[in-house]
Amino acid sequence: MRPAPPTTRDLLRLLDQPEQAPIARATLITVVVVVIVDALTPTSLPMAVGLAPLPFASLIGRSERLTSRLTALSVLGSAAAGTLDVLRSGLDPQVILMRLGVTLLVLLAGIWATWQARQGTVTRAEPMALPVLEGDVLPAERAAQMLAYLSGARGHQVHRVENAREWAERQPLAGQVDPGRRRLFQPPGTRLHEPPAAGRTVWQTAAGHVLVRFAQPGQRDLLVELTRPNAPTSFIEDAARVLQLQLERAALVSQVHTQRELLRDLVYAFSHDLRTPITANILHSEAALGGLYGPLSPELAEFLRHSQQGNRDLLTVSDQLMLLAEYESGDLTGEAGGPVDLDGVIRSVIGDVQVRGRERGIHFELDLQPCQVIGHAYDLRRAVQNLLENAMKFGPQGMFVKVALRAQGSSALVEVMDQGPGVPEAQVTHLFKRFRTSTRGSGTGLGLYLTRRIAERYGGTVTYERSGSDHPWTVFRLCLPLYLPPAPAPH
DSSP letter at 51?
A: G
Query: Cα separation of 443 and 160, whole Å?
Result: 52
Q: Which of 100, 122, 144 corresponds to the end of one domain?
A: 122
Task: Report pLDDT digits (tens) over 367-417.
Answer: 999 999 988 888 898 899 889 988 888 777 778 889 999 999 999 999 999
Domain-embedded: residue 488: no
Give 23's pLDDT tier (boundaries 50, 70, 90).
low
Query: Cα separation of 459 and 411, whole Å?
Result: 10
Task: Report pLDDT digits (tens) over 304-329.
Answer: 887 877 777 777 777 767 777 677 66
Say which CATH number the domain at 439 has: 3.30.565.10
For 387-438, what is the HEC assignment? HHHHHHHHCCCCCEEEEEEEEECCEEEEEEEECCCCCCHHHHHHCCCCCCCC
CA quadruple 417, 419, 425, 431: dihedral positive or negative?
negative
Provide the residue range defining the domain that includes 408. Answer: 338-481
pTM: 0.46
User: Into how many domains does the chain fold?
Assistant: 2
Domain-embedded: residue 307: no
Task: Report pLDDT digits (tens) over 339-353.
Answer: 899 999 999 989 888
Domain-embedded: residue 186: no
Domain-embedded: residue 245: no
**Partners of 404 in beta bridges:** 367, 415
- The string of DSSP letters for 81-150 reads HHHHHHHHHTS-HHHHHHHHHHHHHHHHHHHHHHHHHHHHHHSPPPPP------TT--HHHHHHHHHHHH
- The string of DSSP letters for 265-325 reads HHHHHHHHHHHHHHHHHHHHHHHHHTTTT----HHHHHHHHHHHHHHHHHHHHHHHHHHHH
pLDDT over 70 percentage in the chain: 73
From residue 419, alpha-carbon distances to 346, 389, 491 in Å are: 20, 14, 54
Q: Which of 66, 95, 122 corresponds to the end of one domain?
A: 122
Query: Cα separation of 80 and 265, whole Å?
Result: 83
Query: Cα separation of 324 and 311, whole Å?
Result: 20
- Model confidence at 456: pLDDT above 60: yes
Task: Report pLDDT digits (tens) over 128-160.
Answer: 343 444 445 578 888 888 888 888 888 888 888
Domain-embedded: residue 46: yes
Domain-embedded: residue 280: no
Domain-embedded: residue 171: no
Domain-embedded: residue 225: no
Please state, rounded to an integer, the average pLDDT across all residues of the chain: 75
Q: Which of 122, 154, 173 corresponds to the end of one domain?
A: 122
